[in-house]
Structure 1
Amino acid sequence: MINVALLSRWHVHADDYAREVNENEYLSVQLVWDEEEERGRKWAEELGVPFERDFQSVMDNSEIDAVVVTTPTSLHKDIIITAAKHKKHIFTEKILAFTVEECEEIYETVKANQVHLMVSLPRLTTNYYVYAQKAVDEGWLGNLTTIRCRFAHNGAVAAGEGDYGWLPERFFNIAQSGGGALIDLGAHPFYLTNRLAGPVKALQASLRSTRNLGADDNAIVILEYESGSLGVIETSFLSDGSPFQLELYGTEGTLLIEDEQIRLRSSQFAGNGWIKPEDATESLLIPMEQWAAAIQGKSKPSITEEDVIQLTRLNEAAVLSQEENRRIELIELLGE
């Protein structure tokens, strides 16, 4: 059994990961630590495990094999590096860190201490992503010309007299989160399109703080890929009922995904009409399961260091584009 400590309930997905640990036959929650003691004690009580107020004691605990890090993103680097140095395997929420330099420092420490780090990029394990990747790899769309992905919800739409929606106020604290809608929800379209369209050459971003809550709540990014194709990323905390959408357009076909419904049209197929594939059922192990399997030496994760670093790189470029109100070539960041 892999004994796990949960580190912080700051992120809204912390409860989800605690549930996934408890549902995994190879993982077991043993204790909770939180940078806010009251919040941590409440969580530990709900889970029926001890609360440890001293972070170093968690690290020194030889019975703890692994940690789930859902602290503020601003704490990721220090917490994860410390955990790696204490030979703890690490599962964490996206994004890994605010800069590529910090990501690389984290990975260097992880490798030096021979522990497994998993960053949760869950949509890379879904059946619709697997099918979309197959469509690209098999050439069903011809040459990919445009890719669009939208992921949005109403988390910042205030109900009644409240200032915030169902997202907690801390999510709009840029010092802790690093941003708003783009760095959070926009991460999913970024890492999906990174895989499907390939390396990004340049981008231009527009981030808006419509409700003036402290961070962007509505954002669009236009991307130019090294292949010559174009991309559009859309995300928002202000959209009620907005479906998840992933669209791929090519010289010989179109693939449309809305929520989990898939439609494909390709000139390579007889009839040249829309089809709803019946074989689009294959999915991969979810990130938590991949992490547990990697720790046991059973399999290599499909979510990679490259996925994680490129996600941070595009976020860095988008922030710079917003700050300087211009198109950013990715090579500019490589020269820093």
Structure 2
Amino acid sequence: MINVALLSRWHVHADDYVRQIQNNDHLSIQLVWDENVERGKKWAEELGVPFEADIQKVLTNTLIDGVVVNTPTNLHKEVILAAAKNKKHIFTEKVLAFTVKDCEEIYNAVDQYEVQLMVSLPRLTEPYYLYAQRVIDNGWIGKLTTIRCRLAHNGAVASPEKREGWLPQRFLKKEQCGGGSLIDLGAHPIYLTNRLAGEVKTLVAHMQHTNEFEVDDNAVVLLAYESGAMGIIETGFLSQGSPFQLELYGTEGTIRIEGSQIRYSLGNNEWTNLDKPPEALPIPMEQWVSAIVDKTTPTIKRSDVMHLTLINEAAAKSNKEVSWINVNDNRN
């Protein structure tokens, strides 16, 4: 049994991870810590486990094998490094850290103390991604020329009940989040397009503050890949009824994914629905457990995590400087 401590309920996915833990026979929640003591005590009471206000006592507790980190993103580096140094396995929400340099420091500690680190990038396990990757790997649409991915929701759209939308206000605080719609929701299009299109050469980004929040609430990134392909990433907190979209355009065909529906056209201008997509891979939580228990190699890779931060870091620089950025300048 892997005894787990929950570190913060700050992130909106914290309760999702609790459900995943409770559904896994290898995991058991033993403790709760939260930088917000009142929130943490309430969570611990709901779960029927003790609350510990001192994080060092959690991390030095020999009964704890792993931690699930849902702190504000600006605390990730400090908390994850401390967990690694105390030889705790780590599951955390994206993004790992704000800079490539900080990500490297974290991974160096993970290697040194021989613990398993999993960053939740769940769409890399979905059937539509696996099919898109198969299309690319087999050259079914010829040479990839353009890739587009959009993920947006209405979290910052005002309603009679909530003046600034249903998204927690802490997600609109730059110090804690490091950014807004791009670094949060846009993470999914970033890591998907990174996998499918390969190394990014240059990019230009615009992060709009439509509602004058501290962070962007609408964003777009244009990318030029080493392969010669172009990319478009779109995200935002201001779109009502916006479906997830992933499109791959090639010299010999097109793949269009909307929600979970996959359609393709291979050179004949006729569209066909894919009836039997690949089976989904184990979710990140399950891959983390498997890596700890069975020493398996996760399909979510270190490079996925590093390149996610790489693109975010370059996009923030582009937005600030209002210019195209050579992404290689940000690689270490």
User: What is the TM-score when the length of structure 1 is the normalising length?
Assistant: 0.97
Measure how far apart 1:194 and its partner are. 0.3
CA offsets, 1:108-129, max 9 Å, x none?
0000000000000000000000
CA distance in structure 1 between the aligned counterparts of 2:159 and 2:222, rounded to whole angstroms: 32
Q: Paired residue for 1:83?
A: 83
CA distance in structure 1 between the aligned counterparts of 2:37 and 2:161, rounded to whole angstroms: 29
Measure how far apart 1:279 and its partner are. 2.5
1:279 aligns with 2:264: no
Q: Paired residue for 1:309?
A: 306
Q: Which amino acid aligns with 1:197?
A: A
What are the residue-to-residue correspondences of 1:101-180 with 2, within 5 Å?
A: 101-160=101-160, 162-180=162-180
Measure how far apart 1:41 and its partner are. 0.5
Moved more, 280-289 or 198-207: 280-289
Q: Which amino acid aligns with 1:98?
A: F
- Indicate the SS of the match to 1:183: coil
Q: Paired residue for 1:42?
A: 42
Q: Paired residue for 2:195?
A: 195
CA distance in structure 1 between the aligned counterparts of 2:162 and 2:276, rounded to whole angstroms: 46
Q: Which amino acid aligns with 2:228?
A: G
CA distance in structure 2 between the aligned counterparts of 1:19 and 1:81, rounded to whole angstroms: 26
What are the residue-to-residue correspondences of 1:256-335 with 2, within 5 Å?
A: 256-267=256-267, 273-334=270-331
CA offsets, 1:198-254, max 9 Å, x none?
000000001011111211000000000000000000001000110000000000010
CA distance in structure 1 between the aligned counterparts of 2:278 and 2:166, rounded to whole angstroms: 32
Which runs of 5 or more structure 2 residues have no equivalent in the other structure?
Answer: none
What are the residue-to-residue correspondences of 1:25-40 with 2, within 5 Å?
A: 25-40=25-40
CA distance in structure 2 between the aligned counterparts of 1:213 and 1:263, rounded to whole angstroms: 37
CA distance in structure 2 between the aligned counterparts of 1:172 and 1:63, rounded to whole angstroms: 36
CA distance in structure 1 between the aligned counterparts of 2:247 and 2:316, rounded to whole angstroms: 25
Q: Paired residue for 1:223?
A: 223
CA distance in structure 2 between the aligned counterparts of 1:316 and 1:5, rounded to whole angstroms: 30
CA distance in structure 2 between the aligned counterparts of 1:160 and 1:112, rounded to whole angstroms: 52
CA distance in structure 2 between the aligned counterparts of 1:193 and 1:316, rounded to whole angstroms: 16
- Indicate the SS of the match to 2:272: coil
8 Å contact kept, 2:87–2:113: yes
CA distance in structure 1 between the aligned counterparts of 2:162 and 2:59, rounded to whole angstroms: 39
Q: Paired residue for 1:252?
A: 252
8 Å contact kept, 2:100–2:331: no
Q: Which amino acid aligns with 2:180?
A: G
8 Å contact kept, 2:67–2:90: yes
CA distance in structure 1 between the aligned counterparts of 2:2 and 2:73, rounded to whole angstroms: 25
CA distance in structure 1 between the aligned counterparts of 2:148 and 2:187, rounded to whole angstroms: 14
CA offsets, 1:139-162, max 9 Å, x none?
101000000000000000111163
CA distance in structure 2 between the aligned counterparts of 1:204 and 1:272, rounded to whole angstroms: 32
- Indicate the SS of the match to 1:184: coil
Aligned residues: 332
CA distance in structure 2 between the aligned counterparts of 1:235 and 1:272, rounded to whole angstroms: 29
- Indicate the SS of the match to 1:233: strand
Q: Which amino acid aligns with 2:149?
A: C
User: What is the TM-score when the length of structure 2 is the normalising length?
Assistant: 0.98
CA distance in structure 1 between the aligned counterparts of 2:121 and 2:95, rounded to whole angstroms: 9
Provide the alpha-carbon RMSD of the alignment: 1.1
CA distance in structure 2 between the aligned counterparts of 1:185 and 1:161, rounded to whole angstroms: 23
Which runs of 5 or more structure 1 residues have no equivalent in the other structure?
Answer: none
Measure how far apart 1:298 and its partner are. 4.5
Moved more, 101-110 or 297-306: 297-306
1:4 aligns with 2:4: yes
Q: Paired residue for 2:52?
A: 52
Distance 1:25 1:161, change over 3 A: closer
Q: Following TM superposition, where does structure 1 have runs of at least 4 consecutive aligned residues deviating by more than 4 angstroms?
A: none
CA distance in structure 1 between the aligned counterparts of 2:96 and 2:331, rounded to whole angstroms: 18
Measure how far apart 1:276 and its partner are. 1.5
1:182 aligns with 2:182: yes
CA distance in structure 2 between the aligned counterparts of 1:247 and 1:330, rounded to whole angstroms: 23
CA distance in structure 2 between the aligned counterparts of 1:129 and 1:264, rounded to whole angstroms: 14
8 Å contact kept, 2:181–2:236: yes
8 Å contact kept, 2:91–2:119: yes
